Amino acid sequence: MNRKAAMSLTFVLAMSTVMLSGCAGSTPAGSAGTEPETVVDVTETPSGDPAGIETEETVQARDDEPAGTDGQAETEAADGSAEAEETGSETMTEDDPLQTAFPLSDGITIPELKMNDLNVPSGTAFEYVRDMGVGFNLGNTFDAYNDDSLGDEMSTETYWQHDRTTQEMIHYLHEYGFDSIRIPVSWHNHVNGDYVISKAWLDRVNEVVDWAIAEDMHVIINIHHDNHLVDECLYPDREHLDQSLKYVTAIWSQLSDRFREYDDSLIFESMNEPRLVGHDNEWWIDPDNADCVEAIGCINELNQAFVDVVRQSGGNNETRYLMVPGYDASIDGATHKDFVMPTDPADPSDDRSNGHVLISIHGYTPYQFALEYPGTDHFDPASADSTRDLDSYMNKLYTTFVKNGVPVVIGEYGSRDKNGNLQDRVSFTAYYVRMARGRGMACLLWDNNAWTGDGELFGVFNRKDPEKSNFDVLAAIMTYKD
């Protein structure tokens, strides 16, 4: 089937309904003492793909690639509750069925989710995040880093996955419904001793940024895999803070200069998952551990330095939207009592709802399903055992940030393929996107273009042949993007 046919194909889905209560174990204030009721309608799909597309077809085996997700391993079994007011819910009947414009595999269904949207503050920042919608991570590409066996720095683009990014790929991503793209970039292996970025590397990143902006997408660039104790990059402890500030300032000074006049479609993100690499608490933050507390303080300073250098560069950078993470970019790091959002010279009133600094969160939740291996390969949106951690996670983000006027961008989420558990991944993705969007948050899928082997298989968009993408997961995303 060609692209246009795949996009235009619409299935009318028969429905069966399963009722369950909403976010388990929490009672939001201001909602008559009950959690918003959640209804999951598990649909039946017409058998077969009339076009013969097998959406689980993959590119050739890539046993030599890391196929990772940056090692994200945060678990967010938080106990936050959401203050909810019903602002409207869907009503689906057999005369008004759930529909998808994507072909689904045999037996795969998109769950119908009826949830109350929660109140989202008004403000330009929240409008901006709403427009960011659902997004895609160009993972394992510009964030890859080389070893001594690579003679050409430009070959790192295909070192962790084998497909060079093309303008056609970016066009497909937008045509398939993605509103935003995050382009993770590592810089430490593309700078000289004075931290001057290679012109060839910066030009190449700039080229892909331009392709995405030409598609009217929101674009995020960042400092990605530059958090370590080698190459004099960044490391968030006091011993290395001066060095870290020097590195962050140098990189963002150059990026700010290069993209000064770009409009608000382009977003800068200070760092990716800043953490104590190699520490016992690298991925599992202990709120009382002295090293973790020290790291959080250093991250605060690094985020502030980032904001300051961008704002001082002038042009549209004076008010550009910026994203900042806490420790690990995890919910525990961002909600730690010592984490503070940076002061923004562009917004002296510190009114985040109308401001220009957004909190960046990553959430592979529930961890046992989304990332841990073997963990569990099962996710049932009608079971509190499956949804409990995700409900708690989303509600804590809402009560801590959104409700208090701080916009949230979930910069990474996703679930790895575990022995072909496609229906579970589809159900998880639909539930995740619906929860995030109903709480006023943008969310960007992590995709590392990994399809086969025994690594972290997060491939959804097939870069080699977009018409062989995982349309089932794409359908789950796009069904609940609005």
> Could you give the residue numbers annotated as active site?
224, 273, 412
User: What crossing angle do the helices spanning 241-258 and 199-214 adopt, rounded to 10°?
Assistant: 60
What's the angle, vertex CA 77, arms to CA 74 and CA 81, rounded to 5? 130
Q: In this structure, which long-range contacts are made by residues 5-8, counting pairs with CB atoms below 8 Å and at least 24 apart in sequence?
A: 5/51, 6/51, 6/53, 6/102, 6/103, 6/467, 6/471, 7/101, 7/102, 7/175, 7/176, 8/101
Q: Cβ(134)–Cβ(443) under 8 Å?
A: yes
* Distance in angstroms (rounded) separating the CA atoms of residues 181 and 178: 7
* Distance in angstroms (rounded) separating the CA atoms of residues 80 and 412: 21
Q: Cβ(69)–Cβ(415) under 8 Å?
A: no
* Distance in angstroms (rounded) separating the CA atoms of residues 98 and 94: 9
Residue 25 pairs in a beta bridge with none
Torsion of CA 467, 473, 478, 479, to 10 degrees: 130
Q: Say which amino acid occupies 224.
A: H
Based on its alpha-carbon atoms, the radius of gyration of the chain, rounded to whole angstroms, reads 21
Burial class (CB in 10 A: 0-12, 13-18, 19+), 354: middle
* Distance in angstroms (rounded) separating the CA atoms of residues 139 and 71: 12
